Amino acid sequence: MKEMTNKVMQFCDERGWRQFHNEKDLALSISLEASELLENFQWRSSEDAVAESRQNIKEEMADVLIYLLQLANKMEVDLEEEVYKKIEKNGVKYPVIR
């Protein structure tokens, strides 16, 4: 993830975009990109959407992650660590029934 984050931040810096990056608009952007991802499934079944729009779905997934990496970088959050912590927390909330 670090290498990916560096690449994303370098891209923003080359264009002088980092000055606009406040946390509220980054969170807003994640939500907008997630909607563009979801738009591929509007009025369609999963099967049809994946069959007809696989390329666009992949690109919108990348857009969500790109903004997520920017927000994590801005807030100095280690996303991987947060995912592992959240899985552990969810494990307590939803215990395995054997």
Q: Which two tokens stand for residue 6?
A: 């560096």
- Distance, in Å, from the CA atom of 69 to the CA atom of 8, rounded to the nearest integer, reads 8
Q: Does 79 interact with its own copies (rule: CB under 8 A)?
A: yes
Q: What is the largest CA-CA distance in the chain?
A: 54
Backbone angles phi, psi at 29, to 5 degrees: -70, -40
Q: Does 27 interact with its own copies (rule: CB under 8 A)?
A: yes
Q: Does 19 interact with its own copies (rule: CB under 8 A)?
A: no
Q: Does 64 interact with its own copies (rule: CB under 8 A)?
A: yes
Q: How far apart are the first and last CA of the chain?
A: 35
Amino acid identity, position 62: A
Shortest distance, CB of residue 13 to its own copies, whole angstroms?
Answer: 10
Q: Which two tokens stand for residue 72?
A: 């994590």
Residue among 2, 6, 18, 83 that touches its own copies (CB under 8 A): 83
Point out which residues bind its own copies (CB under 8 A). 1, 4, 7-8, 11, 14-15, 20, 22-25, 27-46, 49-50, 54, 57-59, 61-66, 68-69, 71-72, 75, 77, 79-80, 82-87, 89-91, 94, 96-97
